[in-house]
Amino acid sequence: MASRKRGLGRGLSALIPDESEGYIFDEDAKKEKIVEIDVNLVVSNKDQPRKEFEKESLEELRDSIKKYGIIQPIVVRKISGKYEIIAGERRWRAAKEANLDKVPCIIKEVDDMEAIKIALIENIQRQDLNPIEEANAFKALMDNFSLTQEEVAEAVGKSRSYIANTIRLLNLDKEILDYVSQGKISAGHGKALLSVKNKKERLDIAKAIVDKNLNVRDTEKLVSRSKSKKIKEKVSQKDPFVEEVEEKLMSALGTKVNLIPGKKGGRIEIEFYNDEDLQRIVEIIANEQ
């Protein structure tokens, strides 16, 4: 297990150049040979976790590339006569839009597993993913490479609870997942909706978030009110026989009584307000008046 973690960390430092503002390479990347490769020989990574590439952002990068070129090389691996992208697909797409013939690349020799790991982690660490893409990326790391939530958290620099809560979003309905992916509602909204058990009600609240531009706190209040309403409805739907028995007991004992039927029997709850009230009720039940 330890060696697998070390391999994961090695992949991040050695294979993913720093893409922060200023395009500063890490020390390992500086030593790598940069080669110009025909843009048509470079192919997308089929396991690329990022599915959405914002058109406006891509156009801005295209214009920058036209003016300054590609400042940071694309990291690739050679496979079947082509060069599959490990890191830098957005730059490659923008380069094609800019009609570049060649793109600067660093060629790495890595196996399928390492390439997929790096593709996932590279996007996660750079916050290039929407919450659902991120959730799918975390889940893919766990499912495909037998990583625990703790190991994923360590690899991507997040807390274990962050990993767990993000993956939970995948339990939402497709319609809501689409809202989150499109940025119409946030991950915080999604987490609030997870506590709504009824699908129709969940979808109605999600639509209200979009239509009324509700913030997360407003959504949590709406969900809370919905739960309270459900509880009241459940209480009001008592069997007429149960209500009749409760009324007889309340009349006899002079206090509130709640009859709770179960699959096998049930229980009776009798309220009292002080020691004297309790003694009074006991005397009534024991017929010691």
Q: Would you please indicate which residues are annotated as catalytic (active-site) residues?
A: 89
Nearest to 74 by CA among 109, 39, 99: 39
- Cβ atoms of 93 and 54 closer than 8 Å: no
C-alpha torsion sign, points 249, 250, 256, 259: positive
| Alpha carbon distance 117, 43 (integer Å) | 18
Task: Give φ, ψ of 58 to 5 degrees.
Answer: -65, -40
Task: Kindly compute the dihedral angle of the four CA atoms of residues 142, 144, 147, 151, in this order, to the nearest 10 degrees.
Answer: -70
Contacts of 80 (CB under 8 A, 6+ apart): none
- Cβ atoms of 76 and 108 closer than 8 Å: yes
59 in the Ramachandran plot: left (φ > 0), alpha (ψ -120 to 50) or beta? alpha
240 in the Ramachandran plot: left (φ > 0), alpha (ψ -120 to 50) or beta? alpha
Measured CA to CA in angstroms, residue 259 lies from 150, 244, 278, 281 at distances of 46, 10, 18, 16
User: Residues 108, 114, 118, CA angle at the centre, nearest 5°?
Assistant: 85
